[in-house]
Structure 1
Amino acid sequence: MFTATSLDQLPDRETILSLSGLDFMRAILRGEIAGPPIATQLNYTLDTVEPGKVIFRGTPTFEHTNPMGGVHGGWYGTLLDSCMACAIMTTVPKGSVYTTLEYKVNLTRAIPLGTEIVAIGTTDHTGRTTGVAHGEIRGVADGKLYATGSTTCLIMKVAG
Structure 2
Amino acid sequence: MTTPYFAQSPADLPDRQTLLSMSGLDFMQGILAGRLPHPPIARLMGFHLTEVAEGKVALRGAAGFDHCNPFGAAHGGWYGTVLDTVLGCAVMTTVPQGRWYTTLEYKVNITRAVPLGQEVKAVAIVDHAGRSTAVASAILRGVADGKTYATGSTTCIIMAG
Q: TM-score range by the shorter chain?
A: over 0.9
Distance in 2, matches of 1:36 and 1:118, equals: 18
The answer for the alignment partner of 2:7 in structure 1 is 4
How many residues were matched structurally? 158
The answer for the alignment partner of 1:17 in structure 2 is 20
Q: Deviations over 1:71-124 (max 9, x none)?
A: 000000000000111101000000010000000000000000111000111100
Aligned amino acid, residue 143 of structure 1: G
Aligned amino acid, residue 125 of structure 2: T
Instruction: Give the C-alpha shift of residue 14 in structure 1.
Output: 1.4
Aligned amino acid, residue 89 of structure 1: M
Whether 1:58 aligns to 2:50 is no
TM-score (norm 1): 0.97
Report percent identity of matched pairs.
58
| Root-mean-square deviation over aligned CA pairs | 0.6
The answer for the alignment partner of 1:67 in structure 2 is 70
The answer for the alignment partner of 1:34 in structure 2 is 37
Distance in 2, matches of 1:97 and 1:153, equals: 10
Instruction: Give the C-alpha shift of residue 34 in structure 1.
Output: 1.2
Distance in 1, matches of 2:37 and 2:115, equals: 29
The answer for the alignment partner of 1:91 in structure 2 is 94
Whether 1:117 aligns to 2:120 is yes
Where does structure 1 differ by over 4 angstroms across 4 or more consecutive aligned residues?
none
Distance in 2, matches of 1:83 and 1:64, equals: 18
Distance in 2, matches of 1:137 and 1:126, equals: 22
Structure 2 portions without partners, runs of 5+: none
Distance in 1, matches of 2:67 and 2:90, equals: 24
The answer for the alignment partner of 1:77 in structure 2 is 80
Structure 1 portions without partners, runs of 5+: none
TM-score (norm 2): 0.97
Aligned amino acid, residue 105 of structure 1: V
Instruction: Give the C-alpha shift of residue 13 in structure 1.
Output: 1.3
